[in-house]
């Protein structure tokens, strides 16, 4: 029935206007529609978007919602529907909603590339969430589309939304950065899957962060590092806001504190800070590391001169990165360390891990910068010794295992 309705609607604009509400109802996140019906409705709305772009534009949140179709719902679907939808060679029954997600990735990527729709609100975050989808086929399709033609069309796509993604994927909706990402979304956040937040979604969030960073150039990584330090770690030093409140909570958390924040906001803000410190410690964000984006690599191999120019550029960016760390980041880290120590916050462990990483990477510069803070310097020296001891033990175990 929907296919016939779609064909008729392509010829009659007034009928298309009336049928869009019916189709959108099938795609709504609260709908219990059969995946086969959802898939048909999705493809019909895609055709209508090409034919009547202005009419379909306000229904974009319903199209984008198909990237998380079925999330949080039990896999109770009729056997006939599963057999119609199955496009996999795996004998084990896949998630019946996977075909809806795969169709959504392909359709939305095509519409974006042809400028029938634009990135807005949490659309990009819905697409990124598909990169970490439990279904490998959905994940592969989403990552290929994003790092390929979509990133080529908009090279700053990941760097512009990276910091906001940390807040969005942790459901830290009270923070201004989340609100800025969600603004002008036209309902794009309604029904957005929150399974990425909390401890259970930590590995999937890391997968998304690593994917984004591996497809950034060095200039973009520098910009992301600066924003993370200024807007997240620096924001934690302000006198108000969820990040500041969390940093002043004791180790026992909200239970023994007269905090006006609900537990969900405390958990979200804590995970934002933890993720930020983990990202900054990650090798993926290190300047000079080659990502998977091969555009620069192809240009650099064209001639020896371009290779030398690239080497000089990397050396210059490394110097800029080091200077930024010493002059901007290190003072923020030291101030934040004092706040976390005074409140006995569990976040101190994550902060010291990042400080230790900076100390191991730039020991001479850190010693000079912390000349007036001997206590912190002694702690870092001690942590370095412990790290070396642990590293030597691990290496010895690896050698022993190889000999066996």
43: tokens are 């493809």
pLDDT band at 185 (very low <50, low <70, confident <90, very high): low
186: tokens are 């036209």
The alpha carbon dihedral of 25, 31, 37, 41 has a sign of positive
pLDDT above 80 (res 54): yes
For residues 322-344, average pLDDT:
91
Q: pLDDT (tens digit, 9 = 90+) per residue, 337-369?
A: 999 999 999 999 999 999 999 998 888 998 988
Report whether 246 contacts 270 (CB < 8 A).
Answer: yes
Report which secondary-structure segment, H or E, holds 80.
Answer: helix 79-85
% residues pLDDT > 90 (the chain): 49
Report whether 82 contacts 93 (CB < 8 A).
Answer: yes
For residues 96-112, average pLDDT:
94
Q: From the CB of residue 252, how many other CB atoms can be counted at a distance below 10 Å? A: 10
pLDDT above 70 (res 268): yes
Q: pLDDT (tens digit, 9 = 90+) per residue, 120-131?
A: 989 999 999 999
Q: What's the rounded Cα separation, in Å, for the pair 150 and 235?
A: 32
Inter-axis angle of helices 202-214 and 263-281, to 10 degrees? 40
pLDDT above 50 (res 81): no
Inter-axis angle of helices 35-51 and 98-113, to 10 degrees? 10
pLDDT for res 226: 93
Q: What's the rounded Cα separation, in Å, for the pair 362 and 372?
A: 17
Tokens 């916050």, located at residue: 345
Inter-axis angle of helices 123-131 and 202-214, to 10 degrees? 100
For residue 199, the Cα-to-chain-centroid distance in whole angstroms is: 15
Tokens 């309902």, located at residue: 187
For residues 50-60, average pLDDT:
92
User: SS3 for 245-314, per residue?
Assistant: HHHCCCCCHHHHCCCCCCHHHHHHHHHHHHHHHHHHHCHHHCCCCCCCCCHHHHHHCCCHHHHHHHHHHH
For residues 162-179, average pLDDT:
92
DSSP string of 350-377, one letter each residue: HHHHHHHHHHHHSHHHHHHHTTT-HHHH
- Output 346-353 pairs: Cβ under 8 A, ≥24 positions apart: 346/251, 347/246, 347/247, 347/270, 347/273, 347/274, 347/277, 350/273, 350/274, 350/277, 350/278, 351/277, 352/379, 352/383, 353/277, 353/281
Q: Between residues 114 and 75, which one has the greater pLDDT? A: 114
pLDDT band at 207 (very low <50, low <70, confident <90, very high): very high
pLDDT band at 295 (very low <50, low <70, confident <90, very high): very low
Q: Which of 82-86, 110-114, 144-148, 340-344 is predicted least confidently?
A: 82-86
pLDDT for res 320: 87
pLDDT above 60 (res 18): yes
pLDDT above 80 (res 135): yes
Q: How much is the mean pLDDT over the chain?
A: 84
Q: What's the rounded Cα separation, in Å, for the pair 379 and 349?
A: 12
Q: What's the rounded Cα separation, in Å, for the pair 195 and 72?
A: 8
């Amino acid at each position: 029935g929907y296919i016939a309705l779609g064909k008729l609607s392509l010829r009659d604009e007034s009928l298309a206007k009336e049928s869009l509400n019916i189709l959108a109802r099938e795609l709504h996140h609260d709908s219990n529609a059969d995946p086969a019906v959802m898939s048909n409705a999705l493809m019909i709305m895609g055709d209508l978007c090409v034919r009547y772009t202005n009419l379909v534009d306000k229904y974009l949140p319903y199209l984008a919602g198909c990237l998380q179709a079925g999330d949080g719902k039990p896999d109770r679907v009729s056997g006939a529907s599963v057999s119609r939808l199955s496009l996999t060679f795996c004998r084990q029954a896949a998630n019946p909603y996977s075909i809806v997600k795969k169709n959504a990735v392909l359709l939305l990527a095509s519409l974006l590339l042809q400028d029938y729709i634009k990135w807005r609100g949490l659309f990009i975050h819905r697409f990124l969430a598909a990169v970490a989808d439990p279904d490998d086929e959905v994940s592969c399709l989403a990552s290929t589309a994003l790092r390929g033609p979509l990133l080529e069309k908009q090279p700053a796509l990941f760097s512009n939304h990276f910091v906001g993604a940390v807040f969005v994927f942790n459901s830290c909706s009270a923070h201004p950065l989340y609100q800025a990402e969600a603004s002008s979304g036209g309902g794009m956040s309604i029904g957005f899957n929150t399974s990425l937040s909390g401890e259970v979604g930590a590995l999937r969030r890391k997968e998304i962060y690593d994917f984004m960073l591996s497809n950034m150039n060095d200039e973009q990584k520098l910009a992301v590092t600066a924003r993370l330090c200024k807007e997240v770690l620096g924001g934690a030093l302000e006198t108000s806001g969820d990040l500041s409140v969390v940093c002043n909570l004791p180790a026992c958390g909200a239970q023994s504190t007269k905090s006006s924040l609900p537990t969900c906001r405390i958990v979200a803000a804590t995970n934002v800070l933890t993720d930020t410190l983990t990202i900054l410690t990650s090798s993926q964000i290190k300047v000079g590391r080659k990502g998977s984006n091969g555009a620069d690599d192809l240009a650099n191999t064209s001639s020896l001169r371009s290779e030398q120019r690239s080497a000089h550029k990397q050396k210059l960016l490394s110097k800029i990165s080091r200077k930024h760390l010493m002059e901007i980041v290190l003072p923020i880290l030291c101030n934040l360390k004092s706040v976390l120590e005074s409140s006995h916050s569990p976040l101190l462990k994550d902060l010291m891990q990042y400080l230790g990483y900076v100390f191991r990477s730039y020991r001479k510069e850190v010693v000079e910068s912390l000349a007036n803070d001997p206590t912190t310097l002694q702690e870092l020296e001690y942590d370095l010794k412990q790290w070396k001891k642990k590293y030597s033990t691990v290496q010895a175990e690896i050698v022993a295992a190889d000999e066996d």
